[in-house]
C-alpha cells in the first residue's frame, strides 16, 4: 500500500492549521536570482522561456534548491492566455508586457478553440516539475483572473488605474461580457489541465482587484472568479484553490463568502486586525509581508514577520509576501525570512 506524503502547504489550503505556517514567495522564480538571470539571458524572450518545458521546469525548481520553501509555483505568466487566444503579446525589456489591444469589434476574433493546444508546453513543464519535486512539496499552478487579464487585453499594457478596461466595461457591456465568458471558459479548461498534469493547488491572480466600486467588484471580480471555481470543481472535485484579490480592501469578506475559494491571499496593505475580523474564523489566509521589507531586511522585516505570524496563529496560515518579490531583493534576506518562518 502506498502512503500519500503529507504536504503541509496543501493541507493548509484545505483548512488544516500547521504547527508553523508553510511558506512560498510570490514570484519566487525570477530576477533576484542570478541563476534565473543567467538562464534568461540565453533565451530569445520571456515567452520562449515560458513555452520551453525543460527550461521552465528548471527555473521553477531553482528557488527550491536554495531555500527550504514548501511549494514550487509553475514558471509561466498570466499573459499566456491572451497569447494562446491569438492576441499579440510581447514582453519588452524594461517596459513590461505590450499587447495589441482588443476592441469591441475584434473580441469575436479570439480563438478559444486553439488555446489548450497552444498551452501544451505548460502542462509538460508541470509534469517535469512534479517528477523533480520532493513528495512533501506542494506544486502550485495558476492563471490570471479574468478581470486582471482583461485589463491587459483591453489596455494593451499595465496602467496605474486600469481606466481603459473600466471604461470599456461601462461603454461596451455586451462585448465585455463576451470577453469575460471567453476568459472564464479558457481559464477553467487551463486549470483543469494543470491539475491533470500534476498541480496540487492553483492560485487565481486577481492583481487588479483595486479601483473598482462595489458593483463592479461583484460583476468583474467576484462573479468570474466564482464561475471559475465552480467550473473547475465540476471536473476536479474538491480542487484546492487560492484566490488573491490584490487591493480588494473592504470587498474582502464578500470575495471570501461568494467565490468558493479555499484560501485567500492578502495584499500587504490589508491591516492584520481587519483581516482577522473580516475573514471568517478558521478560513485559511495567505500573506502578507510588504516585499520592500524583504528588501530592507533586519528588524523591519523580522518584527513584522513575527506580527503577521501572531495575527494568524489561530487559523490556517500560509506565509507569503503581500505581492511579488522584487528584483533588488538580497538573497540573504530571503534565507533569513524562510529560516524565521520555519524556526522562529
Supply the residues annotated as catalytic: 27, 31, 40, 77, 152
Is residue 132 involved in binding ligand CP3 (CB under 6 A)? no
d(CA 305, CA 287): 10
Q: Least distance to ligand CP3 from the beta carbon of 88, Å?
A: 15
Reference 208, options 255, 161, 258, 168; nearest CA is 161
Reference 304, options 252, 342, 264, 340; nearest CA is 340
Is residue 324 involved in binding ligand CP3 (CB under 6 A)? yes
Angle in degrees, 0-180, between the axes of helices 298-311 and 331-343, rounded to the nearest 10: 30
Is residue 286 involved in binding ligand CP3 (CB under 6 A)? no
**Only segment of 22-30, 167-175, 254-262, 266-274 that touches ligand CP3 (CB under 6 A):** 22-30
Please, which residue, 132 or 158, has the CB nearer to ligand CP3? 158
Is residue 86 involved in binding ligand CP3 (CB under 6 A)? no
**Only segment of 20-28, 192-200, 213-221, 272-280 that touches ligand CP3 (CB under 6 A):** 20-28
Is residue 121 involved in binding ligand CP3 (CB under 6 A)? no
The residue number whose beta carbon is nearest to ligand CP3 equals: 207
Is residue 289 involved in binding ligand CP3 (CB under 6 A)? no
Burial class of residue 229 (count of CB atoms within 10 Å of its CB; 0-12, 13-18, 19+): buried
Reading the block at residue 104, the C-alpha cell is 469591441
Q: Which of 14, 17, 39, 40 binds ligand CP3 (CB under 6 A)?
A: 40
CB 109 within 8 A of CB 176: no
Reading the block at residue 244, the C-alpha cell is 488573491
Reading the block at residue 11, the C-alpha cell is 493541507
- Would you list which residues are annotated within the binding site for substrate? 27-31, 77, 152, 207, 323
Q: What are phi and psi of 133, to 5 degrees?
A: -105, 140
Question: Which chain residues interact with ligand CP3 by CB under 6 A?
Answer: 26-31, 40, 46, 73, 75, 77-79, 91, 96-97, 142, 158, 205, 207, 324
Amino acid at each position: 500500500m502506498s502512503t500519500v506524503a503529507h504536504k503541509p502547504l496543501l493541507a493548509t489550503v484545505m483548512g488544516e492549521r500547521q504547527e508553523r505556517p508553510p511558506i512560498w514567495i510570490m514570484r519566487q522564480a525570477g530576477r533576484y536570482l542570478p541563476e534565473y538571470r543567467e538562464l534568461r539571458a540565453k533565451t530569445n524572450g520571456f515567452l520562449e522561456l515560458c513555452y520551453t518545458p525543460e527550461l521552465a521546469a528548471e527555473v521553477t525548481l531553482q528557488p527550491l534548491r536554495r531555500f527550504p520553501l514548501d511549494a514550487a509555483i509553475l514558471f509561466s505568466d498570466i499573459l499566456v492566455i491572451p497569447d494562446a487566444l491569438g492576441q499579440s503579446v510581447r514582453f519588452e525589456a524594461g517596459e513590461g508586457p505590450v499587447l495589441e489591444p482588443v476592441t469591441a469589434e475584434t473580441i469575436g476574433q479570439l480563438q478559444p478553440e486553439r488555446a489548450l493546444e497552444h498551452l501544451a508546453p505548460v502542462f509538460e513543464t508541470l509534469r517535469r516539475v512534479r517528477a523533480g519535486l520532493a513528495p512533501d512539496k506542494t506544486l502550485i499552478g495558476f492563471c490570471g483572473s479574468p478581470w486582471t487579464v482583461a485589463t491587459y487585453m483591453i489596455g494593451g499594457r499595465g496602467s496605474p488605474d486600469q481606466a481603459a478596461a473600466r471604461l470599456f466595461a461601462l461603454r461596451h457591456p455586451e462585448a465585455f461580457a463576451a470577453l469575460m465568458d471567453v476568459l472564464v471558459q479558457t481559464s477553467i479548461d487551463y486549470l483543469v489541465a494543470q491539475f491533470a498534469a500534476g498541480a496540487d493547488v492553483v492560485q487565481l491572480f486577481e492583481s487588479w482587484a483595486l479601483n473598482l466600486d462595489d458593483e463592479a467588484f461583484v460583476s468583474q471580480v467576484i462573479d468570474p472568479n466564482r464561475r471559475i471555481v465552480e467550473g473547475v470543481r465540476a471536473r476536479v472535485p474538491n480542487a484546492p484553490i487560492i484566490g488573491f484579490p490584490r487591493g480588494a480592501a473592504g470587498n474582502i469578506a464578500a470575495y471570501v463568502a461568494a467565490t468558493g475559494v479555499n484560501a485567500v491571499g492578502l495584499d500587504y496593505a490589508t491591516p492584520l486586525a481587519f483581516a482577522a475580523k473580516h475573514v471568517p474564523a478558521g478560513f485559511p489566509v495567505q500573506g502578507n509581508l510588504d516585499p520592500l521589507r524583504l528588501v530592507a531586511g533586519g528588524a523591519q522585516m523580522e518584527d513584522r514577520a513575527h506580527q503577521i505570524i501572531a495575527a494568524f496563529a489561530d487559523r490556517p496560515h500560509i506565509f507569503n509576501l503581500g505581492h511579488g518579490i522584487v528584483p533588488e531583493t538580497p538573497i540573504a534576506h530571503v534565507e533569513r525570512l524562510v529560516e524565521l518562518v520555519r524556526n522562529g
